[in-house]
Structure 1
Amino acid sequence: MPDTGTAPRTAPAAPDDRIQLRTPGQDHADRHARRFGLPVATTLVMGNIIGGGIFLLPASVAPYGTISLIAFGVLTLGAVALALVFGRLAHRHPQTGGPYVYVRAAFGDFAGFLAAWSYWITTWVSNAALAVAAVGYLDVLLPIHGSTFWTIVAALTCQWLPALANLAGTRYVGAVQLVSTALKFAPLLLVAVGGLFFFRADNLGPFQGGGDSPLGAVSASAAILLFSYLGVESASVSAGEVRDPRRNVGRATVLGTALAALLYLLCTLSVFGTVAHGDLVHSSAPFSDAVNAMFGGTWGGSAVAIAALVSMVGALNGWTLLSAQTPYAAAKDGLFPAVFGKKRRGVPPAGVLVAVGLASLLTVYNYTAGSGGVFEMLVLVTTFTATVPYLLATAAQVYFLLSGQADRVRPGRLARDTVLALAAFGFSLWLVGGAGYAAVYQGVLFLFVGVLVYAWMAARRRRSAQD
């Protein structure tokens, strides 16, 4: 039987032992539950990273100018650093839960809860943002932009179909992920490679737009672009469902991130060079516009819109799974309500339903409130909430390394891991600043609500212990 929860011999015995307890044969007894191998784990990472973000973000960062390409390069290096750190942490603690598991093992219950709570917010807010991006491409095929009602219906459909696939079991989650990841590559490669042959320098627009300083423009555009890299930790969050997690989680994380980063950079450069800057700033489907500019007419843009929708549904499929896995791990430790800690067909159904319900409410609110820039606002909130567990997880790695709990490796490897963890921490801190005051303000409000939930759960545990 694959090792799905035994702590490494170099790890401290507690406090994370409780999340390692599993009902004997619970995953193998159900034909709908299936463990992921390296290919599926890699596509889970790539599918979550290459979701809806890349299909809309070139237009979102276009107002900052081509300096955002520099931000993309810096962000890629930071994402790879985070991927390497998560790979090392998953080797140490190969259990379901990702950042929550690492932070709790290093700093205790409260820090672990904050990581779980913040990451959980990231997952369902990201689902709302992905649904908004999906509607932009659906509008290319079925013009619905004039109707708020049908726009909301389309967004909610994009969220609930992947939720139903998750409720059917991990067997179907993996199947949907493989198919959607495979289908999305054709149009992305078409734009990434083909767009270079239609590249026109006069389409690029100004190097720096707006009134920000160069560093401010890079930071602000990187904060938006981070949304396109969320998912780096996907394999580590679902480590309990991965075969041979100590070996496969790290490989899947680094391989999936590196391949996604290469495709991202080529795609963004091609879109910038094929769509006129003035048109790109106001585009709701920049990849469709790029293909239309390359080949003329609208058939190419429609084909890309279909592929983009498939890609976004695949990303929503993976993110819906992640939205249930983190509270599942926390619930097994008594830090989330117990209902989140129950599985059916390999998936925690309560986590899926609560997350998709909250994402649906947020989607409806943002459309009915009539606020502009819905996608960008949601993206910046997730940027902040994502960086909280990233900061805590990289700090946990620094703690493990400096406290003598590192794996027994050569001093050179130990020094390299320490520098890498510090670089990933600094990178995450930089992103918090780039998210902007409004996003940090809203994100902190979300965190403070979590503190109240923690107080409630801690009080219940204490009463239970006294009884």
Structure 2
Amino acid sequence: MTSTATPPAETAAPPGQGRDPHARRFGLPIATCLVMGNIIGGGIFLLPASVAPFGTISLVAFGVLTAGAIALALVFGRLAERLPQTGGPYVYARAAFGDFAGFLAAWSYWITAWVSNAALAVAAVGYLGVLFPAIGEHKAAMCLAALTVQWLPALANLAGTRYVGAVQLVATVLKFVPLLLVAVGGLFFFDPANLGPFQATGQGPVGAVSAAAAILLFSYLGVESAAVSAGEVRDPARNVGRATILGTAGAAAVYLLGTLSVFGLVPHDRLVASEAPFTDAVNAMFGGTWGGTLVACAAVVSMLGALNGWTLLSAQTPYAAARDGLFPKVFETRKRGVPVVGVIVTVALASGLTIYNYTAGSDGVFEILVLITTFTATVPYLLSTAAQIYFLLSGQSGRVHRGRLVRDGILAGLAFGFSMWLVAGSGYAAVYQGVLFLFVGVLVYAAMSARGQRGACGSEDRAERRDTA
């Protein structure tokens, strides 16, 4: 393997794939739903209560984060125009900095995906317990429910990209009905007296914004979703950027309006202690106690949709790396438009982690692993934004109007700063342990690189023997 990489070309579809009724490329609407569905998982249902202790200044933190997320989305859109291939951050890092950087991006993203899938499944069980109380009475039932929540989206993926897109569209629509009910309808019941103080802590404005942002920082993970699946998007050079921007902007609107409405519907002292803020908001709007069931249903649908999208993404990155010899060749296996081995291995690892979570009996193990993913998720972001800066400074962006060049440079700088903020918000422990995960990847890269080198030397020896004969 060489230390410098050329941009990988998208491989041709396997024979017959064009006629496979189960494989279908995503259009702009489905790609947008993929981005929105992956950004908005289940966290939205707890966010208002999580930031309420800081006061309404947390809305300012939301605004700052939204600006950073949109800058990152615009950078991914520009990179997708340049390299419209499956793999997203892996493709960009490898094209700019070589095989090792590409591998680190792929490895980090893969860890993030399958650990996060396990986390989403475990969180979904809590909401399932509201709908079916018997599930929460036994650990075995909870574990089985979490495994079921993981494997249903995996089966949808294995059925083909046609079904992935259909599930993603339906899940996105269903989960946004109650969210929009609160985000938009709640404004008609808005009571400014419920907002509470602008700053509820003794910190200064900058400190309060930073503290609130530390909780909200990871609300926008998933902006790269369309870029990672660029090979499955029709006209990716045009649609990936649009889907990324539309999906991020849509998620931001739901976040901001939803949080603002809940702040105005639920009194501040109750909101700080609330375990289901959207339930309390719906009850305040219409009275009664049916809001809990509605929000639980919405949360389960939201998480199933997020698992559906993240399962696809978790298979796409190792697939792209396997094509270039940086992951085991088996990850390149593809049927019905889906990297099937990547899906199976990912859901198997997530299932193993889920079983461990319910059987280890050690509190906090799962939470620590999830915290690590908040760091590993930022590694591909940093490498991608650095790749964009490299392309701009090296002149590899081609002949570009000076105004656009300056604008792209500013956006890349903002996105890089936003990614660094994500790293800082992960905390020292997460960064330390996340680096250990990366070092394990270095060992895997060494093994794959040595194997590739042996294969190259063997080919040269065989060619030399043929020439001598």
Please say whether Structure 1 and Structure 2 have the same fold, judged by a TM-score greater than 0.5. Answer: yes
2:162 is equivalent to residue 171 of structure 1: yes
Say if 2:387 is the partner of 1:396. yes
> Which of 172, 185, 202 pairs up with 2:176?
185
Say if 2:302 is the partner of 1:311.
Answer: yes
Residue 361 (structure 1) aligns with:
352
Report the counterpart of residue 83 of structure 1 in structure 2: 73
Residue 154 (structure 1) aligned with residue 157 (structure 2): no
Q: CA offsets, 1:25-50, max 9 Å, x none? A: 45313221111111111111111112
What do residues 402-447 of structure 1 show as CA deviations (whole Å, max 9, x unaligned)?
0011142210110110011011001110121111112212221211
How does the TM-score come out when normalised to structure 1?
A: 0.90
Distance 2:216 2:361 in 1: 24
Task: Measure the CA separation in 2 of the matches of 1:302 and 1:166.
Answer: 28
Deviation per CA, 1:335-374: give whole Å up to 9, x if none.
1111111101111111111211222233333444556678
Partner of 1:426: 417
Residue identity in the other structure for 1:415: V
Structure-2 residue corresponding to 1:3: none
Whether 1:459 aligns to 2:450 is yes
CA distance in 2 between counterparts of 1:376 and 1:272 reads 28
For structure 1, which segment, 200-209 or 400-409, has the greater mean C-alpha deviation from structure 2 after superposition? 200-209
Shift in Å at residue 330 of structure 1?
0.4
SS of residue matched to 1:36: coil
For the structure 1 residues 430 and 18, does the alpha-carbon distance in structure 2 shift closer, same or farther, using more than 3 Å as the test? closer
Flag the 1:281–1:377 CA change in 2: closer, same or farther, 3 A.
farther
Aligned to 2:319: 328
Cα separation, 1, equivalents of 2:305 and 2:268: 29
Task: Report whether the alignment pairs 1:67 with 2:57.
Answer: yes
Distance apart, 1:281 and its partner CA: 4.6
Q: Partner letter of residue 344 of structure 1?
A: K
Aligned to 2:103: 113
Matched, 1:141 2:156: no
Question: Does residue 1:126 correspond to 2:116, yes or no?
Answer: yes
The letter for the 2-side match of 1:117 is: W
Identity percentage over the alignment? 77
Question: Amino acid of the residue matched to residue 20 of structure 1?
Answer: E
Structure 1: runs of 5+ lacking an equivalent: 1-13
Q: Deviations over 1:225-267 (max 9, x none)?
A: 2332121111110001111111111111111111111111011
What CA distance in whole angstroms lies between the structure 2 residues aligned with 1:372 and 1:206?
35
Write the distance in 2 (CA, Å) between the matches of 1:219 and 1:40. Answer: 34
CA offsets, 1:89-121, max 9 Å, x none? 000000000000001000000001001111111
Instruction: Tell me the alpha carbon deviations over residues 288-347 of structure 1, each in whole angstroms, 9 at most, x when there is no partner.
Output: 232123222222321222122112111110010000000100011111111111101111
Matched, 1:92 2:92: no
Which residue identity does 1:244 align to in structure 2? Answer: D
Which residue is equivalent to 1:7?
none
1:51 to 41, 60, 65: 41
1: distance between equivalents of 2:282 and 2:229? 36
Aligned residues of 2:105 and 2:379 also touching (Cα < 8 A): yes
Residue 399 of structure 2 aligns to which amino acid in structure 1? R
Unaligned runs of 5+ in 2: 459-469
Superposed displacement of residue 67, structure 1: 3.4
SS in 2 for 1:28: helix
Q: Which moved more, 1:293-302 or 1:41-50?
A: 293-302
Q: CA RMSD in A?
A: 2.4
- Cα 1:148/1:271, change in 2 over 3 Å: farther
Q: Work out the CA distance in 2 between the residues paired with 1:336 and 1:213.
A: 48
Q: 1:26 to 1:209 in 2, by over 3 A?
A: farther
Q: Does the CA-based 8 Å contact 2:49-2:277 persist in structure 1?
A: yes
Q: Using the alignment, how far apart are the partners of 2:270 and 2:365 within structure 1? A: 19
- Cα distance, 1:54 vs. partner? 1.4
Return the alpha-carbon distance in structure 2 between the equivalents of residues 323 and 111 of structure 1. Answer: 18
CA distance in 2, matches of 1:332, 1:70: 44
Matched with 1:449 is 440
> Aligned to 1:94, what secondary structure does the other structure show?
coil
Distance in 2, Cα, partners of 1:408 & 1:427: 28
TM-score normalised per structure 2: 0.90
Q: Distance in 2 between matches of 1:378 and 1:66?
A: 31
Q: In the superposition, relative to structure 1, how do residues 262 and 398 fare at CA in structure 2: closer, same or farther (>3 Å)?
A: same
Aligned match of 1:269: 260
C-alpha distance in 2, partners of 1:167/1:322? 13
Aligned partner of residue 155 in structure 1, secondary structure: helix
- Secondary structure of 1:115's aligned partner: helix
Matches of 1:342 and 1:171, distance apart in 2: 18
Instruction: Tell me, in whole angstroms, the C-alpha distance in 1 between the residues paired with 2:342 and 2:323.
Output: 13
Offset of residue 125 of structure 1: 2.0
1:259 equivalent among 250, 257, 273: 250
Q: Does 1:28 align with 2:18?
A: yes
